[in-house]
Amino acid sequence: MTPDFALKLGWAAGRVLGKAPGARVLIGKDTRRSGYMFESALEAGFAAAGIETDLLGPIPTPGVAYLTRALRCQAGVVISASHNPHHDNGVKFFGPDGGKLSDAIEAEIEACMEEPLGCVGPESLGRARRIDDAAGRYVEFCKSSFPIQQTLSGLKIVVDCANGAAYRTAPAVFAELGAQLTVIGDRPDGFNINRNCGSTHLDLLKAAVRENKADIGVALDGDADRCLLVTRDGREVDGDEILFIIARQRLQAGTLQGPVVGTQMSNLGLEQAIRTLGLGFERAKVGDRYVLELLKAKGGTIGGETSGHLLCLDRTTTGDGTVTALQVLAAMVESGLTLAELAQGMKKFPQVLINLRIQGAAKPLLDHADVKAEVASVEKDLGARGRVLLRASGTEPLIRVMVEADEAPLTQKMAERIADRVRQLAH
């Protein structure tokens, strides 16, 4: 992504969104150095289209979604590449309801990108202003997702902010709810976002939890829409286990609606555990967009991905790492159980995920006859003992090979078979 692309995108989005009277947009970002550049370019594009913009500064992606809705704006824009390294960046849009833009509006923006860049007259240029209390407003929203009769008093929590967008908001939320808090990954310098920290690198968090004898560790990613957890003895609790804990808590409270929705990557153990509770379980394509679509289609409220990108539609409109952590903490406080004890109801199948970095498009490799033959051969050998998923990453130049089976050595062997075949063809 380049400044001229961001300028054109702001202008094109402004042209489309500006059809609504009094249209305003919000722009938030994470802590990447390039965010300053893209923020200025997007704001200039919106101004050229006659759109007023409110600049939020560094704030979690779900904070932009919430404030877009709360401030009655036409759209919210997030400059972030989520869990990726600092040299990547991207742009996400939210509609006035705090959800993703409709396909029709996205198509309209894409079509407008093909037109020559223009500019409204001087009297119609959009203006920009900064909202200084954006982070504080979002902190209060997160706290409102936690039961009013509960506090975190007596709990020791370590939170890893990934040197990202939640470096101010997440510590404020947990501290104001009464937790005894240790914070790491809260010193962003523009380049260290997600670097050996956060939800993609849990070693520092595990060590900090053990060192501080904490009850729980919370790991966010760069834009804080994901959350993974760590038990007091340093064991990782992934998105599947978190989804099980929250779904069971909602069931016990009598507030769960519809089926629980996972993805094609969700562990088979999650599906079995959810069905043991007497609940329905559905699998969507990988990506929070598809989880959200299936939840809405099936009338559900709880869903998510193994990566920790969870949706609690009874609390908010999009994935929110801080809100997710608070739902698990509420279950801990209410039940008096530890995180490890809450997760015991789900037994994970051994799962191997191999990420293969590639050059060029992934589709020719995925469609290659030799790759398909190898996948079919592995599926035949596994039979009812496991399953295979081969897909392209939606955010990085990777092909992901996932194999799940009832025995760890078998799982590793079968995953390597498919990965070796893809590597041979890729080279």
**Which residues carry out catalysis?**
82
Residue indicated by tokens 């739902």: 327
Q: Which helix (H) or strand (E) holds 377?
A: helix 369-382
Q: Which residues pair with 389 in a beta bridge?
A: 402
Tokens of 286: 């990988």
Looking at 282-392, list the stretches that DSSP marks H as alpha helix, in order from N- to C-terminal side. Answer: 288-298, 321-335, 339-343, 363-366, 369-382
Residues 6+ apart with CB under 8 A from 114: none
CA atoms within 13 A on the CB side of 140: 6
Contact 402, 415 (CB under 8 A): yes
Tell me how far CA of residue 60 lies from CA of 27, 238, 292, 406, 411, in angstroms. Answer: 11, 20, 19, 38, 36
Question: DSSP readout, 153-167?
Answer: TT-EEEEE-TTSTTT
Cα–Cα nearest to 216, from 147, 173, 159, 162: 159
Measured at the CA of 163, the angle between CA 91 and CA 179, to 5 degrees, comes to: 115
Q: CA-to-CA distance for 362 and 366, rounded, in angstroms?
A: 6
Q: CA-to-CA distance for 319 and 63, rounded, in angstroms?
A: 10
Contact 240, 270 (CB under 8 A): yes
Query: What amino acid occupies position 219?
Result: A
Tokens of 115: 């037109």
Tokens of 124: 């119609």
Q: CA-to-CA distance for 62 and 325, rounded, in angstroms?
A: 14
Q: CA-to-CA distance for 202 and 216, rounded, in angstroms?
A: 13
Torsion over CA: 172, 174, 176, 180 (sign): negative
Tokens of 197: 């920290």
